Amino acid sequence: RHSRQRLVVGNWKMNGSLAENASLLNGITAHWQGAEGVETALCPPYVYLSQAAEALSGGPIKLGAQTVSEYSNGAYTGEVSGAMLADLGCRYVIVGHNERRRMQGETSDRVAEKFHAAQQAGLTPILCVGESEQERDAGMALETIGHQLLVVVKRVGLEAFARAVVAYEPVWAVGTGKTASPEQAEEVHRFIRAELGELGARTQILYGGSVKPGNAEQLFALPDIDGALLGGASLNADDFVAICRAAA
Ligand code: PEP
């Protein structure tokens, strides 16, 4: 097996409250035994970053954010810069999640700017790519993903992927309970690695889309899958820890 470090990232999306987060964070940190070998990060909503930073401080679980502004500072009402996220202790930031591409109108060009802004601030971008169900049915999955990657590569250069993570998230599998089959996932991961050229062998590539304790082990057994980006399963302490243990 390759020597890439396994990574599991939890994306809380727009969920939680001070009280719910406290119990979730406590549930995760209290039952961490057996997951020590994995690299892990949690991505709470912006307003809860401080709370999570405090709860996770000194422990093995890193902090990430769900998105970042493409701008560095100034008159961008409602936006949060990479420097601010780094200031709060973030190590990672998700860019190009399909919910933001579809619902916040994030084009691949804007995603590329966000990727760049994240790296400028010293954060590790987790670049999400993935095809819709119609694109898969039309036989366009790899073409779609190749284009999403190429727009970013053109902006930042291939070398930038030495300090980045890619997450393959088929849109039809995110939050739907449907998971890509091991063959479908492995095909795309192998393709992404090839598209990244020489760096492909080193870049961590995560799978995301309805990963649960029951299917995690099978996905992590595949040679080109280095971990998972979790939505729903990251909101349950037992499920999150179980998946981290499967990756460790
Ligand atoms: C996600 O939102 O990145 C995700 C993978 O969600 P879920 O695990 O709920 O499908």
Q: How far is the CA of 171 from the centre of ligand 1 (A)?
A: 9
pLDDT, tens digit only, all 248 positions of the chain: 468 999 999 999 999 999 999 999 999 999 999 999 999 999 999 999 999 999 999 999 999 999 999 999 999 999 999 999 999 999 999 999 999 999 999 999 999 999 999 999 999 999 999 999 999 999 999 999 999 999 999 999 999 999 999 999 999 999 998 899 999 999 999 999 999 999 999 999 999 999 999 999 999 999 999 999 999 999 999 999 999 999 99
Q: Give 129's strand partners.
A: 168
Residue with tokens 């095809």: 131
Residue with tokens 């349950």: 236
> Which residue from 169, 171, 215 has its CB within 8 A of the most atoms of ligand 1, so it is best to mutate?
169
Cα–Cα distance for residue pair 98/115, rounded to 1 Å: 15
Q: Residues 211, 188: contact at Cβ < 8 Å?
A: no
Q: How far is the CA of 193 from the centre of ligand 1 (A)?
A: 22
Residue 3: predicted pLDDT: 82
Cα–Cα distance for residue pair 65/41, rounded to 1 Å: 9
Q: How far is the CA of 75 from the centre of ligand 1 (A)?
A: 32
Residue 228 CA: which ligand 1 atom is closest?
Answer: 5
Q: Which superfamily does CATH assign the domain made up of 7-247 to? A: Aldolase class I (3.20.20.70)
